[in-house]
Amino acid sequence: MPRMSAACSQLSAPLIACRITSWIFIARSKATTAKVIAALLGLYRPTRHAGQSGHFICSRERTDHVLPTPILTRLDRCRRGPYRLRVIPPRLLVTAGLALCLGLTWAGRSEGQTAVPPTDPAHTPLYAGIGLSDAWWEFSLDSRIGYPEGRLRVGENGGHATHLRLHEDLGITMSEALEASVAFRFTQRDAVRLTGLYYFLEGNSRFLGQPVSYNGDTFGPGKVHTNADFYRLSLAYERLLASGLGMFVTGTGGLTYVHLDPELTQRGHRNSEDFYRQELPVPILGLRIDVPLDQRFGARGYVSGGGLPRVDSLRKEGGTIYLSQIHVDGGIALTYAVTRAMLLEAGYNFTYFFQHEKSREDDNSFELNDNGVRVRLSIAF
């Protein structure tokens, strides 16, 4: 164990060197006499070969004596060996500094943007149908206008069918939709909702060049009118899942059924395909998030989807008919509480619908990809 001393017996207690991490040792004591600072500086002036270093501070009754420590002297006799001074790389210092700055900035930003809980009176939704609702019933009616894309193909008796694009080939340049729903709340968090949706998909086009094959029939050059309207019925269970962090999260789950019967008409000649005969109820899951901005304004985001893999439709036409189907709906909107019982909503809406029927004789498919705007009015009581 290294020994240290200062001014002989002037120390009031012995010093023990154990795991010392400083290169400077200072022992202070009351001394009857004091040496001149200049003399001390001459004795312990640091040089390139000497390990002395330190400060001298004189007061009225104290003298400070520096204990020199050679650089190569072992400071601790532990098994890890002598202590070595480690120099931190500059790049590590820069990285640590940047991380500290970012951390302080983020902390300040988070502190300034603390989420407002929905229970705050200034941000509690005025409309009774959001959050823990005390309304028993809710009626909704919405209208949509969109830009549809997709394709229609109907093959009969194993024959070749033409892929008809909704926009380019069939002239369906605009989609319109009306949706109505009614919800019954049996608790403040739980509700059952019945929804009906009707899609208007009509267009006029002129076939040029080669004839078009549709459902075993041939349509030659000339004007053709297409009616691909369909309706959709859904039954879903809704539950408020969360009401913290300044938002309300609602989950939904249920079944949907689509009735599709597209028809082509040319010079009084009509041909249609009854997709609905092979249709099955499709399971759907959804999520809706409402973020109150104040008592009247809010933001809403929603998404739902589901489908069926290739399954037996339980119907036969030239053999077993297999059905596959996909549904996706989503959008974002701004909401405004007109009164406590009335909510107005407007925003973007996306709809995707795909249905495919396959058997030894038939190979039919319909696909719709629609982007548009949506306006909705809800009344709760």
Tell me: the pLDDT tens digits for 81-91? Answer: 443 434 444 44
Does residue 101 surpass a pLDDT of 80?
A: no
d(CA 171, CA 85): 80
Q: Which of 293, 258, 371 is nearest to 123 (CA)?
A: 293
| Amino acid at position 194, single letter | L
- Classified as helix, coil or strand, 257 is strand
- The answer to whether residues 298 and 290 touch, using CB atoms and an 8 Å cutoff, is yes
Regarding predicted confidence, which is higher, 17 or 208? 208
Residue written as token pair 């190569």: 72
- Read off the pTM: 0.68
- Classified as helix, coil or strand, 227 is strand
Does residue 355 surpass a pLDDT of 90?
A: yes
| Least confident residue range of 53-67, 118-132, 250-264 | 53-67
Cβ contacts of residue 344 below 8 Å, gap of 6+? 335, 336, 337, 338, 375, 376, 377
What dihedral angle (degrees, nearest 10) is formed by the CA atoms of 105, 108, 110, 112? Answer: -140
Using 50, 70 and 90 to split pLDDT, how confident is the model at 360?
Answer: confident
pLDDT at 379: 96
pLDDT at 156: 78
- The answer to whether residues 181 and 195 touch, using CB atoms and an 8 Å cutoff, is yes
Q: Sign of torsion, CA 262 267 268 269?
A: negative
pLDDT digits (tens, 9 = 90+) for 155-205: 876 667 889 999 999 999 999 999 999 999 999 999 999 999 999 999 999
pLDDT digits (tens, 9 = 90+) for 31-60: 444 444 444 444 444 444 444 444 444 444
pLDDT at 317: 78
pLDDT at 158: 62
Regarding predicted confidence, which is higher, 261 or 18? 261
Regarding predicted confidence, which is higher, 3 or 380? 380
Residue written as token pair 């400083």: 22
- The answer to whether residues 355 and 363 touch, using CB atoms and an 8 Å cutoff, is no
pLDDT at 68: 52
Domain boundaries, the chain: 1-86, 137-380
Q: What is the mean pLDDT of the chain?
A: 78
Top mean pLDDT of 79-88, 214-223, 331-340 is at 331-340
pLDDT at 254: 98
pLDDT at 161: 82
Using 50, 70 and 90 to split pLDDT, how confident is the model at 122?
Answer: low
Whether domain 137-380 has CATH 2.40.50.140: the reply is: no
Regarding predicted confidence, which is higher, 22 or 268? 268
Phi-psi region of 267 (alpha: psi -120 to 50; beta: other; left: phi over 0): left
pLDDT at 171: 94
Does residue 366 surpass a pLDDT of 50?
A: yes
